[in-house]
Amino acid sequence: MKTYQEIDRHARDVNPDRQSAVYSVASALAEKRVNAFQRDYADPDRLRRLAGQIKQHTLEHLDHYLQMAETSFQENGAQVHFASDGTRCNQIVLDILKKNDCRKVVKSKSMLSEETELNGFLTEHGIDSVETDLGELIIQLDNDHPSHIIAPIIHKNRREVARCFDREGLGDYNDEPEVITRRARSYLRKQYMDADAGLTGANFVVAESGRISLVTNEGNARFCLAATRLHIVIVGIEKIIPGDRDLALFHNLIARSGTGQRLTVYNQFIGGPKAENQPHGPQQMHVVFVDNKRTEALASNCREILRCIRCGACQNICPVYRQATGFAYRGTYGGPVGSVLSPLLAGENFAQKADLPKASSLCGACRDVCPVDIPIPDLLLRLRDKGKRESSKKAGAGTPPMGIWAIMSTQPAAWKAALRLGYALNYPPTQAFPNPALQAWRSVRKFPPWRGGKFRRWMKDRKKSSE
Ligand code: SF4
């Protein structure tokens, strides 16, 4: 099993420019969030609790709401598919595209598609899949990965973006943000016009009305559907909310929590393919509901994490994320949400991600900012416990460090010796530890002065004086 030291190592080795880019953007977003809530609400916690209750209610009746969503989408003329895992999801998307003779797809940002590695799969099968969110486009051109849920290139600066555009033929080196944006805009316009299909995720799926809601700040999701004849939605089963009126609460929370905005710039509501009397829009809409270990997470004692609306607020506030950056978490989701979600979504490979819940100081900041009131520190502790149980099951009971503790606490002589040894910690590492590895370990740790054993001495003296 890996240890949290891997994240520690990543934090030390990360390029300082990258670290400071992540730190400053995450801190600015966190500050904007605080200002937005303070400015607009007398009691934001009441809203967070309400949103958490709505999501928790939906999760506890997920079978009912999934069925309701399926029926509503079908009544609106959409086709509904269910995928048990990422591989099945990718295959369903490919089959739909092939059946409709689609060669090119324009795609808006979807963390689920990162989870299933959809772009690579489509490319392997001869489909040109183009990211249209500016950050995701740069990630795709650089063959990189997103390191933040809502700011995928939080780890890059504008000079890197200008170099990328220069290399890829989008224009000679120029790192002015306005020039970069204009170049991306003209490049993407061509892609929208050439594409056969638009692929999106969904921020929310409304079971009652069979609609998806998409929030973006670039308007790229609506362009993906403007000139294409087919719309495919891939969405995790946990994204369902019961009714349209719940959207008001969630739209207010997601914008303020993620970017400190009152409302995201573009909010789309899509309930089926184009109607007969509509001049434009895709003629088909396919909704693929994806499980990919979500039902296992729902059955676990960490099911609250499925309330997550992917706002990124817990990443922005987390001191570990800010230092270590998103790549330290070795998966689609970084930061506190990733430390819970990644081990759960790893299923039988839980051990490979069991170190992530340990990469937290348990300061509780993530819980305080979460718009759906997820008790992230509690979930981290439950996963630490699961990791400990699973590793001791494998290695047998009494494995270190609890095995050592068991010996010491049941044998007085060993306990006394350990107390005396503790005083070695008060000396400089070179004097206290003959072993170079222990010296290195001790040299980066500051301990408070060791004072163990005084109680026993005090008891002994007390006994003597009372005799
Ligand atoms: S866990 Fe909460 S704060 Fe973190 S991304 Fe999800 S909804 Fe946002």
pLDDT digits (tens, 9 = 90+) for 300-325: 999 999 999 999 999 999 999 999 99
Q: Roughly how many angstroms between the first and final C-alpha of the chain, as a whole number? A: 54
Cα 210 to ligand 1 centroid, rounded to whole Å:
24
Sign of the CA dihedral with 25 first, then 8, 446, and 1 last = positive
Spell out which residues line ligand 1, taking CB within 6 angstroms.
149, 257, 308-314, 337, 369-372, 374
Query: CA–CA separation, 217 vs 406, rounded Å?
Result: 56
| pLDDT over 80 (residue 182) | yes
Provide the percentage of residues in the chain whose pLDDT is more than 70.
Answer: 97
Closest CA to 175 of 185, 186, 188, 166: 166
Tokens of 138: 């740069």
Cα 304 to ligand 1 centroid, rounded to whole Å:
11
| pLDDT score, position 389 | 87
Cα 305 to ligand 1 centroid, rounded to whole Å:
8
pLDDT range class, residue 455, cuts 50, 70, 90: confident
Tokens of 454: 């005084």
Nearest CA to ligand 1 atom 7: 308
pLDDT digits (tens, 9 = 90+) for 230-254: 999 999 999 999 999 999 999 999 9
pLDDT digits (tens, 9 = 90+) for 365-401: 999 999 999 999 999 999 999 998 888 776 655 556 6
pLDDT range class, residue 423, cuts 50, 70, 90: confident
Cα 422 to ligand 1 centroid, rounded to whole Å:
42
Report which of residues 188 and 466 the model is more confident about: 188
Cα 240 to ligand 1 centroid, rounded to whole Å:
16
Nearest CA to ligand 1 atom 4: 314
pLDDT digits (tens, 9 = 90+) for 3-17: 556 777 777 778 888
Nearest CA to ligand 1 atom 2: 370
The predicted model gives 14-22 an average pLDDT of 87
Q: What is the mean pLDDT of the chain?
A: 92
| pLDDT over 80 (residue 433) | no
Nearest CA to ligand 1 atom 8: 311
| pLDDT score, position 432 | 74
Domains of the chain: residue spans and CATH: 43-292 (3.40.50.10420), 402-466 (no CATH)
Report which of residues 440 and 226 the model is more confident about: 226
pLDDT digits (tens, 9 = 90+) for 117-170: 999 999 999 999 999 999 999 999 999 999 999 999 999 999 999 999 999 999
| pLDDT over 80 (residue 416) | yes
